[in-house]
Amino acid sequence: MRLFISLSSVLLVSAAYAQNLPRLPDGQPDIQGMYSRNGLVGLESNAPENPIDPSDKNPLSVSSRGDGLGPYPKIFNEGGSRIRPQGRQAHRTGIVDPADKKLPWKPEEDERRRQFLLKMNPPSDLRHVELNARCTLPGPFQGEDGNNPYQFLQPSGEVVMLYDYNHTSRVIHLDGRPHLPKDIRLFMGDSIGHWDGNTLVVDTTNFNGRVAYSREIPYLSDQLHTVERFTVTDANTIEYEVTIDDPGLFTKPWKTAGYFARSPKDTQSLEFACAEGSQTLVNIFGNPPEVTR
């Protein structure tokens, strides 16, 4: 009952706000600014035992030690801080379809990724070091949401999504152009969008098969096709849902959800030189040969 009242309140607030959305000269609702993204990547039911570090919801995580002496103190995940929501809001987060969070894996692909995970600790080779630790671009899902904010810019006819994480970006074209030819493959994909009222709908294809969803799903295939819905519900909140259609791994599409919350005004994107600032490969494999310069 309480949930129903909360959701009703959100809908009322959303409807009122949608009628008065501030708009840019090209007609787009103005969503520009810095945001944190929250709640997007959730554990599937029947998640595999992950030998690296699963999410905090997984009891196998070394971060969830009962003695409170886990390796990551609370200082992690506070770079994406957000301003307090206006009133009480309910958000849909994590895997929302199917409702039981049991993903529609092709059995042979589920087994293949489970075997892949077993080779990640210790990593049997570079391919089995997680993609983010190798400083690859994060794809749609692995922007280190707790630590790194996102910035939306809206030049005429486009929405540009700047990732603080690894300084990458997505340019979402709103002019109805077709997707890139199939032989062009990208970490961040090729995004075409349009506004449907107060919802930005984004269709993305041309992924390169080197994009992870989570630590338990360490890769998606190059057949990945996403449809994202960014729904502006008030001046500080964008509800987010993405349909993940990957016929290379799954028998049908599934959906996950989260929300963007506006960050405090002093939030800045900081320099992110991933390969220089990361010592992960050295800490796993040891020092590379000396370089003379």
In the complex, the residues that contact other proteins under the rule CB under 8 A are: 38, 51-53, 55-57, 61-63, 65, 68-84, 120-123, 129-130, 132-133, 144-149, 164-166, 215, 267, 270-274, 276-280, 282-286
CB 133 within 8 A of CB 280: yes
**What is the Cα–Cα distance from 185 to 211, expressed in whole angstroms?**
11
Q: How far is the CB of 8 from other proteins (least distance, A)?
A: 23
Helix (H) and strand (E) counts in the chain: 4, 10
Structural tokens at position 146 = 């707790």
Task: CB nearer to other proteins: give 24 or 270.
Answer: 270
Task: CB nearer to other proteins: give 9 or 38.
Answer: 38
**What is the Cα–Cα distance from 66 to 138, expressed in whole angstroms?**
31
CA-CA distances (angstroms) from residue 149 to 13, 39, 41, 145, 215? 25, 13, 15, 7, 20
**What is the Cα–Cα distance from 224 to 33, expressed in whole angstroms?**
28
**What is the Cα–Cα distance from 38 to 74, expressed in whole angstroms?**
17
Q: How far is the CB of 110 from other proteins (least distance, A)?
A: 20
First to last CA, the chain: 68
Q: How far is the CB of 69 from other proteins (least distance, A)?
A: 7
Largest separation between any pair of C-alpha atoms in the chain = 68
Q: How far is the CB of 281 from other proteins (least distance, A)?
A: 9
Q: How far is the CB of 180 from other proteins (least distance, A)?
A: 29
DSSP 166-178: GG-EEEEE-S-PP
Task: CB nearer to other proteins: give 130 or 228.
Answer: 130
Task: CB nearer to other proteins: give 63 or 243.
Answer: 63
**What is the Cα–Cα distance from 189 to 208, expressed in whole angstroms?**
8
Q: How far is the CB of 147 from other proteins (least distance, A)?
A: 5
Task: CB nearer to other proteins: give 71 or 248.
Answer: 71
Query: Is 88 exposed, middle or buried, given 0-12, 13-18 or 19+ CB atoms closer than 10 A?
Result: exposed
Task: CB nearer to other proteins: give 87 or 104.
Answer: 87
Q: How far is the CB of 156 from other proteins (least distance, A)?
A: 30
**What is the Cα–Cα distance from 72 to 203, expressed in whole angstroms?**
36
Task: CB nearer to other proteins: give 16 or 72.
Answer: 72
